[in-house]
Structure 1
């Protein structure tokens, strides 16, 4: 009876309730266990044997039924564990994939950066080679100037030697590659051996100016002088620049900077005054710096412009430049002067220096604007050797409005062979009538020698083929990227994206012209 009661307790009768009827009924543990050892047909016999054994050991029977009840739960736990492990493995693989992609992108960026670096280094190396050749070329010419100033050769011989150098630039570089190691005597002897049958090519142009990039930069004049000089050099012209030796000059980029031992004298305020002459090459352009000795304070200042004695300062420099040119035996084809600061060179050339070897030299004046003209008392022009009575006339330097004064910029216009006016947006007629600042009648008389030029841009500084800020680069050989840039510009300006509409954009320097 006890066994029967225990069996009844261990195997309770399960009644279906409304809630349990919807669940899938669990199979009796006995049947689940027996199906592992036999087929369905032998289940009754196995059940009888199991029941008999269990009746003999009630505790074992109860434990076995409990294990059978736990078996589905254990299986579910194992499956869930495997699922979590698989999920973790997938997440790990995804993380590794992301890391691999990031590493690949990093490698690609480094590769692209290295390629760009190599491209820049190659371009820089090529440019430095070209600059070195240009620097060597101009060092040789400046050595010839030094020979004239020290009395080794006369001006006629110097002119012939310059023609040799100008005519055979490439050959000269190869022959005189060790110029810095040679004395003046050795160099002169080799130049004489190399001088047969040379003809002059191109023009000899000398800028007399107050700014040049990167030495001294105040306004647009500095970049204009540098860019124009390099452009003319590429066309085979002989170009050099004369500047004051300001205390604020940046001399770090000058190659072969040296002081000529012999002093150069110039006339000012009734007597001759000594100047130190410095020569060098910057970005392939030969430069000469004039340093006054007696009037050292003229350029030993913090600023370039804006002093009450600016006329005295720059008229001294203009006269000293012409004295240096004639003493060194140079006979340039063109003297290029800029704004009012060196406009006095025009009257000086035609009234004084045309009889000192510069009879074949022409004068070109460039005006960035007509805002600043420099009005002074007529007697002040006598400081640099000019005759006030000869110049204080309506057709020469007399100011159109203030007739008791002279107008230095007007004198430059009158005495120049050509006048360039820099403007990217205005015509000659509009400038004469609307932006002449009192020079309308003078410009009207000399309108045939006026030329309006745009500022342009230097593609060594900006090039759409290399600009990394553009959405896509383009060049004259491949203009496809220009359409992409056009769309980007329209989007940036909030304009309609239309391929048929003409888009015109203008970039220009903000000035009165």
Structure 2
């Protein structure tokens, strides 16, 4: 099956005393020091035994020298002896000073060497951390596309991904990237515009990048999304992608489009392109975030060649509550053969009736083509058995390494070190999604937990899109508790995040449905229970007509952790450890990878629409 996915997404010291060497000897009854002086040929020019300087001077000394006839002569001049005596002691003291100085220099040098070795080690560790963070950010952008595409390809399907050539994109990971010789034209705003086409391979998946020439500023920007002209940008890309597919002679079985950014492909396909050699192709629309529904003036649909008068109708693109506007997300649902909504916890009934964000009528009308799928999990990147960041690896069958990870986490953050202390991690993303009730519940959890010596570690997941003031307010409230068992890290540290998952017993989650960061799935994989900040039974209430259409992941996470409050989790850890350990074991051994349930659902959807 041919599938096209369209997405936006040692020291040597020399003594300066060359002719002299000192040797110190001490016996039980003799405290004499011996100074040996040798000539250049190695002969001893003299030997003087002294116990103290005063004794040497008292005896007057005796200087021995060779005469020209080879006989020894004794010179007894007191003046000369005194001078020689003074000179020898001066040399002796100088030698001692030199030795002490050299010893000090050597100690300093050794200290500097050890410091340099330590700094080098830390630098290498930091370089590795930065590489891990860089890879992690890349995974967040392309996780769904590469993860699902690889899983589909492993099961015998041919997958090609088409996306804009973003200016911020690092193309070093694209193998064999090249610019095609042919310039492809696409329609936009009444004219044809040229596009450069780049092709390559990522993780074994064929990728095509579309680069507008006239509208080069559309994608040559710092971010992929978040601009006032996003609709125009992605409308251009959607039309250009279809024009490229037709003109290159490709005939995919399935055109798989994602989110509102490419939802306009649905109307474009059926109104314009289906008669241009794509009669055998079908459309599958994946919605990762049903809350994101940009509304536009209907007239803007003409930019890509669509007829606003035909599309601005209640059964097509007209927004349900705001009837004077067009809803692109709605168009993707109406004009697709199958619609897959990504959710880790909700059933089809819950999505239609409680999480449709104004699209309940539309979803209910098209419920027969609606599917629910969990996101696949990047198990190769998040695996406690192989995680290089963890101080010691562990598995569901051998959990000893998790205690080591907890101690390492406590040491790193300056927390009291005790493997038996319950440790709780919490990753905060966009706090604007948290209600006032959620925030108060979170503060109450920390207050009650610290009374029981529970440790809390909070970390933000990056730059907040919004809710920065809420974050600062929450941080002030948490830090005002002034408890030694609480740490607040107002930055994202990819390396530390692995250690938090590895060392925690519980991970507090803003929501158990988290398709982007997948905190609940990471928690379960690392033997930490995902517990919602606010336990809300209404979030899991039943809708009998459609509750049978729920995912295996949703059934497991809801029945195991969904109804469990934080206080109940603490109670079970302390009073029913065998039951708690059983839950943790089950969670760690479940297969949430792309190859499991997620891929099976998509293959089923592809097969179903191919026969339409």
What TM-score, normalized by structure 1, do the two folds share?
0.55
1:333 to 253, 265, 281: 253
The answer for the alignment partner of 1:480 in structure 2 is: 397
The answer for the alignment partner of 2:237 in structure 1 is: 317
1:371 to 291, 307, 328: 291
Q: Hey, what's the Cα distance between the residues in 1 that align with 2:303 and 2:217? A: 17
Q: Hey, what's the Cα distance between the residues in 1 that align with 2:201 and 2:420? A: 45
2:214 is aligned with 1:294: yes
Q: Which SS does the other structure have where 2:331 is aligned?
A: helix
Contact kept? 1:322, 1:353, Cα under 8 Å: yes
Q: Aligned in 2, Cα 1:340/1:457: closer, same or farther, shift over 3 Å?
A: same
Q: Hey, what's the Cα distance between the residues in 2 that align with 1:427 and 1:279? A: 39
The answer for the alignment partner of 1:207 in structure 2 is: 5
Spell out the pairing of 1:350-499 with structure 2 (5 A cutoff): 350-467=270-387, 469=390, 473-474=394-395, 480-481=397-398, 492=422, 493=505, 495-496=573-574, 498-499=577-578
Q: Aligned in 2, Cα 1:450/1:502: closer, same or farther, shift over 3 Å?
A: farther
Q: Hey, what's the Cα distance between the residues in 2 that align with 1:316 and 1:456? A: 30
Q: Aligned in 2, Cα 1:285/1:415: closer, same or farther, shift over 3 Å?
A: same
Offset at 1:214? Answer: 8.7
Q: Aligned in 2, Cα 1:434/1:486: closer, same or farther, shift over 3 Å?
A: farther
**Runs of at least 4 residues of structure 1 off by over 4 A?**
213-221, 482-491, 500-503, 505-508
Q: Hey, what's the Cα distance between the residues in 1 that align with 2:289 and 2:263? A: 13
Offset at 1:217? Answer: 6.0
Q: Aligned in 2, Cα 1:214/1:500: closer, same or farther, shift over 3 Å?
A: closer
Q: Aligned in 2, Cα 1:502/1:429: closer, same or farther, shift over 3 Å?
A: farther
Q: Aligned in 2, Cα 1:364/1:483: closer, same or farther, shift over 3 Å?
A: farther
Q: Aligned in 2, Cα 1:471/1:313: closer, same or farther, shift over 3 Å?
A: same
Aligned residues, how many?
301
Render the CA deviation track for 1:323-354: whole Å, top value 9, x for unaligned: 00011111001111111000001111111110
Render the CA deviation track for 1:487-513: whole Å, top value 9, x for unaligned: 9998644623632556436799xxxxx
2:149 to 229, 239, 252: 229
Q: Which SS does the other structure have where 1:438 is aligned?
A: coil
2:175 to 252, 255, 263: 255
RMSD: 2.9
Q: Which SS does the other structure have where 2:383 is aligned?
A: coil
Offset at 1:222? Answer: 2.5
Offset at 1:472? Answer: 5.5
Contact kept? 2:381, 2:387, Cα under 8 Å: no
Q: Hey, what's the Cα distance between the residues in 1 that align with 2:385 and 2:327? A: 46
Offset at 1:481? Answer: 2.0
Contact kept? 1:221, 1:368, Cα under 8 Å: no
What TM-score, normalized by structure 2, do the two folds share?
0.46
1:343 to 255, 263, 270: 263
Q: Which SS does the other structure have where 2:8 is aligned?
A: coil
Contact kept? 1:259, 1:278, Cα under 8 Å: yes
Q: Aligned in 2, Cα 1:344/1:407: closer, same or farther, shift over 3 Å?
A: same
Q: Hey, what's the Cα distance between the residues in 1 that align with 2:262 and 2:140? A: 16
Q: Aligned in 2, Cα 1:250/1:263: closer, same or farther, shift over 3 Å?
A: same
Q: Hey, what's the Cα distance between the residues in 2 that align with 1:472 and 1:280? A: 36
Spell out the pairing of 1:134-145 with structure 2 (5 A cutoff): none
Contact kept? 2:163, 2:209, Cα under 8 Å: yes
Structure index of larger Rg: 1
RCO higher in structure (CA 8 A, sep ≥6): 2
Q: Hey, what's the Cα distance between the residues in 2 that align with 1:444 and 1:486? A: 49
Unaligned 5+ runs, structure 2: 10-132, 407-418, 423-504, 506-569, 593-612
Spell out the pairing of 1:84-99 with structure 2 (5 A cutoff): none
Unaligned 5+ runs, structure 1: 1-202, 509-513
Spell out the pairing of 1:151-230 with structure 2 (5 A cutoff): 203-211=1-9, 222-230=142-150
2:203 to 274, 279, 283: 283
2:194 is aligned with 1:274: yes
Q: Aligned in 2, Cα 1:393/1:217: closer, same or farther, shift over 3 Å?
A: farther
Q: Hey, what's the Cα distance between the residues in 2 that align with 1:419 and 1:230? A: 21
Offset at 1:270? Answer: 1.1
Contact kept? 1:215, 1:249, Cα under 8 Å: no
Q: Aligned in 2, Cα 1:216/1:393: closer, same or farther, shift over 3 Å?
A: farther
Contact kept? 1:337, 1:343, Cα under 8 Å: yes
Contact kept? 1:227, 1:458, Cα under 8 Å: yes
Contact kept? 1:215, 1:250, Cα under 8 Å: no
Q: Which SS does the other structure have where 2:183 is aligned?
A: strand
More strand by share: 2
Contact kept? 1:216, 1:250, Cα under 8 Å: no
Q: Which SS does the other structure have where 1:410 is aligned?
A: helix
More helix by share: 1
Contact kept? 2:394, 2:400, Cα under 8 Å: no
Q: Aligned in 2, Cα 1:214/1:324: closer, same or farther, shift over 3 Å?
A: farther
Contact kept? 1:215, 1:251, Cα under 8 Å: no
Render the CA deviation track for 1:212-238: whole Å, top value 9, x for unaligned: x99996995621111111111111111
